[in-house]
Structure 1
Amino acid sequence: MRIGLSIPQYGRFAAPGLSARLAAEAEEIGYDSLWVGDRILVAREPQNRYPGGTGVAPAEHRTFLDPLTLLTVAAGATRRVRLGTSTLNALWYPPVLLARTLTTLDVVSDGRLDVGLGLGWSKDEYQAVGVPWRGQAARLEETLDVLERIWADGEEVSHSGDLWTVPPSSIRAKPVQRPRPPLLLGGTSPGALERAGRRADGWLGVGLPLPALTALWTTVRHHAEAAGRDPGTLRLVLRVNPVLTPADDDRVPGRGTPHQLAAYLATAVRELGAEPLIDLHFAAQDADEYLAHARTLHDLLRDAA
């Protein structure tokens, strides 16, 4: 079982030095991977609803540190754990620059990067970075094409597409991991599930009732098989953002005790082969409580394996 932890990044945990400290201590506890998310702003009058809870973005998201900067900090504070994005909103970044930043992060971490990409949900964030809301699927497909071309073997790089043109050029910087860092894609729409099965190394799932999660994961695997790929090679990274408080079983994994959450995740591991990813930003009041919960949940999951 590979267990991941979200490192301090937003809300009260967006504090200098905290990410490096907790990254190092999470590695010592025994976590296998550390993860960051991607938010820019919380609009006062949002154009669309937050996809969860009451439909209102959490107040904690009003303070959100840059994900790739924090992963670079975590890379310097650790030696073993893998470093992932769940998820990086791929379309906010020009793909050539995104390729360079991700390549650099893979190099400075000595090949420990997992690239998790998604599309996000906020029209306001797209507007703020000057990226069209429409045409997301085609934009993501071409972004992936550019990334893979730059990461491929060989110094010579060029790309000619509907959105971007890279003239014949030399780009020698390549990721340590070959042929590229593992690519994980998020999203629950039919198109997102098809894309994950067709061209990713895994799917970034979210905490849902197990029947619903199973149905989505089965769909991803079917799309992989239809594309001539081995579905058994795909990874399911399952992110949960719990409030740790006693709750009825039908509220898990959004709410529940550590034992309830560990039982849910252990079942997902046994039945689906999931890799748990635990985000404790809503579960703790300070760094000590964050680490205490992280240790408890890690131990409960290891005992359940």
Structure 2
Amino acid sequence: MGAGWSAEEFAAVGADPAHRGRRVEQAVAAIRTLWTEDVDYAGTRVRMDPRPVQRPYPPILLGGTAPAALRRVGRVADGWISGSRADLATFGEAVAVARGAAQRAGRDPDVLRFVARGSVRVRPAGDPEQRLLTGTLDKIRADFDVIAQQGVTELFVDLNFDEQIASPDADPAASMARAEEVLEALAPR
């Protein structure tokens, strides 16, 4: 879940973006309640069926990068999922904010999940771009350890921003073959 960021989207639904954080917290509480019990609302008995298979309910991961959003993760969510533009080299700073908020709220920070959406770009050895998750498959796999040291518990390998795979100009069959090759090579061992 996310609180939203687009002024146009808030305007379209007539919502005040200044209160989005409070609405997210209320929504998380409401969803969890409906996943576990029947409730009375405005004189009507409300029940959600089918209820989730996971007990007591599925994890709720929140997005957002603002310090307030990260603190909300620590207080009310089961974890945080980054956007694809997250700087994985500084991911640990966001993790620390969420974990600190969990601890201050009396929650166990060790149960929080931190899911990084990592933009992967496979390139030949010696490529001048030296960012995390860019380079040879061996270099990218080594970057997984660097990212894990930032507190990431799960890494979502995202190929959508690799112009050699996801560009409208790329050959669809070649893109699919390359994507399958990359994902197979980077799959958990």
Gaps of 5+ in 1: 1-116, 160-165
Pick closer, same or farther for the CA change 1:299–1:232 going to 2, 3 Å. Answer: same
8 Å contact kept, 2:117–2:157: yes
The equivalent residue for 1:171 is: 47
The equivalent residue for 2:39 is: 157
8 Å contact kept, 2:91–2:150: no
Pick closer, same or farther for the CA change 1:121–1:242 going to 2, 3 Å. Answer: farther
Residues 54-84 of structure 1: CA deviation (Å, up to 9, x unaligned): xxxxxxxxxxxxxxxxxxxxxxxxxxxxxxx
The equivalent residue for 1:32 is: none
In structure 2, how many angstroms separate the alpha carbons of the residues matched to 1:242 and 1:172?
A: 39
Pick closer, same or farther for the CA change 1:271–1:191 going to 2, 3 Å. Answer: closer
1:139 aligns with 2:17: no
Count of residues in Structure 1 that have an aligned counterpart in Structure 2: 175
Select the structure of larger CA radius of gyration.
2
Task: State the superposition RMSD in angstroms.
Answer: 2.5
In structure 2, how many angstroms separate the alpha carbons of the residues matched to 1:288 and 1:264?
A: 26
Q: Alpha-carbon deviation of 1:178?
A: 1.9
**Selected match of 2:64 from 167, 187, 205:** 187
SS state of the match for residue 135, structure 1?
A: helix
The equivalent residue for 1:46 is: none
SS state of the match for residue 272, structure 1?
A: coil
The equivalent residue for 2:147 is: 268
In structure 1, how many angstroms separate the alpha carbons of the residues matched to 2:88 and 2:67?
A: 18
Higher relative contact order (CA 8 A, sep 6+): 1
Q: Alpha-carbon deviation of 1:239?
A: 0.4
8 Å contact kept, 1:193–1:220: yes
Gaps of 5+ in 2: none
**Selected match of 2:75 from 174, 198, 201:** 198
Q: TM-score, normalised by structure 2?
A: 0.78
- Identical-pair percentage: 31
